[in-house]
Chains A and B, each alone.
Chain A
Amino acid sequence: MSPLLEIKDLSIDLYADSEKFNVINNINLTIEKKQKYGIVGESGSGKSLTSLSIMNLLPDALAISGGEILFNGDTDLTNLSKKEFLKIRGNEISMIFQEPMTALDPLYPIEHQIMEVLKFHGSYSKKQMRQLAVEMLEKVGIPRPQQLIKEYPHQLSGGMRQRIMIAIALICNPRLLIADEPTTALDVTIQAQILDLMNELTDNYDTSILMITHDLGVIAETCERVAVMYSGEVVEEAAVTTLFKNPTHPYTVGLLESVKSLGDKSNKLYSIPGNVPTPKQLTGGCRFASRCPHAMEICRSQAPPLFSIDADHKSKCWLYGEEEVVNG
């Protein structure tokens, strides 16, 4: 059985000041059917761009410069016409975003915004669409859906709006749900509810999730596999349990340290010193070298490939591949 989504050697470039900068560099991801897959990394590491490229919704200044995105084994999403893509978006693959406050059109009632998706992807009567919308709102845990459906986005709380986004995303029963920081903008108590809801619904619908977050806690709660992204590259890829038990890449180790120090009584917040380099600052070598406590000579001159730690665990770091270098 072919995987649901396979990102192969995907690169994305930014066109700015009449120059070209690499933003996503040769990443590979495989999401199986019904799998919950996570991408984690600091802000600016390229998570959102990766997800937008799947939907062909990259901002104007950015474009895919190489690789392919296979959906259902045979459809290459990077090669699809605009018209063909309309059938995928919202129907086969849907997406929810970080900012529930601004993600809905302020001028239309909730009803319209849910029924709209049904109109794009099916032929229902108005009555059927309203019926389906109400049922979907019930499923995402919205009280009094009959009344709420007439309300406008500004009348609802952030948590409610995110539930509505989930309803919109799932109403056509997609194969893949991409969630880009779906809980980051919400209160802590609401965060857990929304994650539970997404877990439960995608289980019921056999939908795969691509969960994008900067928060390892969210990964731990929802995902089976995870890719750690740094500066436009996947630097480590493993099953979630493996990653937490046996992190290999110094960046992953740093991320885990900073999470642990959150619960630390000493109250000393650990964070990885320095910042993600911007696309314009990149030089050759390992992109993490300027912040890495283990950086070696080779790290600054040559970019490490993705080494296999074992069959199911890969890490993009020279610490795990000296032999290959000698040989290769």
Chain B
Amino acid sequence: MYAYIVRRLLMLVPVLFGVSIFIFVIMRIVPGDVAMTILGTDATPESLKQLREDFGLNLPIYQQYFEWMAGVLTGDFGESMRTGKEVLPDILTRFKLTFELTLISAVLSWIIAIPLGIIAAIKRNTKTDFGVRLISLLGVSVPNFALATVLILILALFFSYSPPVGYVGFFEDPATNLQIMILPSIVLGTAMAGAVMRMTRSSILEILRQDFIRTIRAKGARERVVIFQHALRNAMIPILTIIGMQIGTLLGGTVIIEQIFSLPGLGQLVLTAITQRDFTVVQGAVLFIAFVFVLINLLVDLLYSYLDPRITYK
């Protein structure tokens, strides 16, 4: 088991190496660079050249890469080309927000989706089931930004709500923090909930058809025991897969929501950095997101083996 974890962590190295080369090259292929965005369209060629030299952008690309990598390997992700701020601390601060947003949305969606999915499965093909399936269909198909806009509009119209500006950490001021986070979390959670609900319903139905459920009923188990101790536990394995995938995408995909709710999260950082061609920030953030993504995958795999004795890692 520990050997397995170590091996998986070692496998991180080539993956992150690949990601780093990929993002580095992409950033240099897209037209425009940071010098142009800083100096604007009416900059003289001389001043552009000067600025590029200051950033080392005139060097051969492999040399730029090695210099950047040398820094990254010692924990120095460099400085933002626009603000001069150190990249890594900025990423970590903003990641706290994105992570919290993801976590609250996820938990919110499970609280709603798993019970509803179970109810739909038990009451399959009844009005309740169709109702739940309709909700989940809406959840997955209504785009986040649309839901967010409608929610903000409604709240603004009827409760004269305006989205709070700025961000306060949970440990600084929990009440204000939750006030800021709740709306974006609901928006993100709805989409997740739709998918989790569907998966819960279909996997429970699938499990309920299996032979061992008949055995458990034949033993004299109450329906509660059949559903919660046996069907749900077995269904958790496919549900976990979809949850893992969603958390992964959310961590890198809260861009739009952070934009709408003006939350200074990781998504917003990357978006701004891309439009400004702030190479060091984009590279650092993408590398970091890839790292978190791989870690979450590892965590999900470890959870599998915790849930299912048939899965063992050596």
Q: Mark B210-242, 1 if CB is under 8 A from A, else 0.
A: 111011111111110100001001100000000
Segment at the interface with B among A15-23, A114-122, A274-282, A317-325? A114-122
Known: A152-B309, A154-B309. Is A105-B212 also a contact (CB below 8 A)? yes
Which residues on A sit within 8 Å (CB–CB) of B309? 106-107, 109, 152, 154
Range of interface residues on B (Cβ < 8 Å): 20 to 34
Among B212, B222, B233, the residue within 8 A (CB) of A104 is B212
Among B211, B219, B225, B308, the residue within 8 A (CB) of A89 is B219
User: Are the C-beta atoms of A99 and B211 separated by less than 8 Å?
Assistant: yes
Q: Give residues of chain A (155-188) contacting chain B, Cβ–Cβ below 8 Å.
A: 165, 168
Q: Does A94 contact B (CB under 8 A)?
A: yes
Known: A105-B230, A152-B310. Is A89-B218 also a contact (CB below 8 A)? yes
User: Are the C-beta atoms of A116 and B307 separated by less than 8 Å?
Assistant: no
Q: Mark A30-43, 1 if CB is under 8 A from B, else 0.
A: 00000000000000
Among B210, B218, B234, B310, the residue within 8 A (CB) of A95 is B218
Among B219, B222, B234, B308, the residue within 8 A (CB) of A117 is B219
User: Are the C-beta atoms of B220 and A120 separated by less than 8 Å?
Assistant: yes
Among B220, B233, B234, the residue within 8 A (CB) of A86 is B220
Which residues on A sit within 8 Å (CB–CB) of B220? 86-91, 117, 120-121
- Alpha-carbon gap, A39 to B225, bound state (A): 32
Q: Give residues of chain A (179-210) contacting chain B, Cβ–Cβ below 8 Å.
A: none
Known: A102-B210, A103-B212, A104-B212. Is A57-B310 also a contact (CB below 8 A)? no
User: Are the C-beta atoms of A120 and B221 separated by less than 8 Å?
Assistant: yes
Q: Mark A62-98, 1 if CB is under 8 A from B, else 0.
A: 0000000000000000000010001111110011010
Q: Give residues of chain B (188-219) contacting chain A, Cβ–Cβ below 8 Å.
A: 210-212, 214-219
- Alpha-carbon gap, A95 to B219, bound state (A): 8
How many of A's residues come within 8 Å of B, CB to CB?
A: 28
Known: A99-B211, A103-B211. Is A57-B217 also a contact (CB below 8 A)? yes
- Alpha-carbon gap, A75 to B15, bound state (A): 67
User: Are the C-beta atoms of B234 and A107 separated by less than 8 Å?
Assistant: yes
Known: A97-B214, A106-B234. Is A154-B310 also a contact (CB below 8 A)? yes
User: Are the C-beta atoms of B215 and A107 separated by less than 8 Å?
Assistant: no
Which residues on A sit within 8 Å (CB–CB) of B211? 97, 99, 102-103
Residue on A nearest B214 in the bound complex, by CB: A57
Q: Give residues of chain A (219-248) contacting chain B, Cβ–Cβ below 8 Å.
A: none
- Alpha-carbon gap, A102 to B310, bound state (A): 13
- Alpha-carbon gap, A202 to B292, bound state (A): 59
A275 to chain B, nearest CB (A): 25
Among B218, B223, B225, B233, the residue within 8 A (CB) of A107 is B233
B180 to chain A, nearest CB (A): 40
User: Are the C-beta atoms of B218 and A57 separated by less than 8 Å?
Assistant: yes
Residue on A nearest B231 in the bound complex, by CB: A105
- Alpha-carbon gap, A195 to B270, bound state (A): 69
A67 to chain B, nearest CB (A): 21
Among B219, B234, B310, the residue within 8 A (CB) of A116 is B219
Q: Does A7 contact B (CB under 8 A)?
A: no
B282 to chain A, nearest CB (A): 44
A88 to chain B, nearest CB (A): 7
B176 to chain A, nearest CB (A): 43
- Show the binding face of B for A, using Cβ within 8 Å: 210-212, 214-223, 225, 230, 233-234, 307-310
Sorted nearest first, the 8 A-B pairs with minimum C-beta distance are A90-B220, A90-B219, A89-B220, A102-B211, A152-B309, A95-B218, A120-B220, A105-B212
13 A-B residue pairings within 8 Å (CB atoms): A87-B220, A90-B220, A102-B211, A103-B212, A105-B212, A105-B234, A106-B309, A106-B310, A107-B233, A120-B219, A152-B309, A152-B310, A165-B215
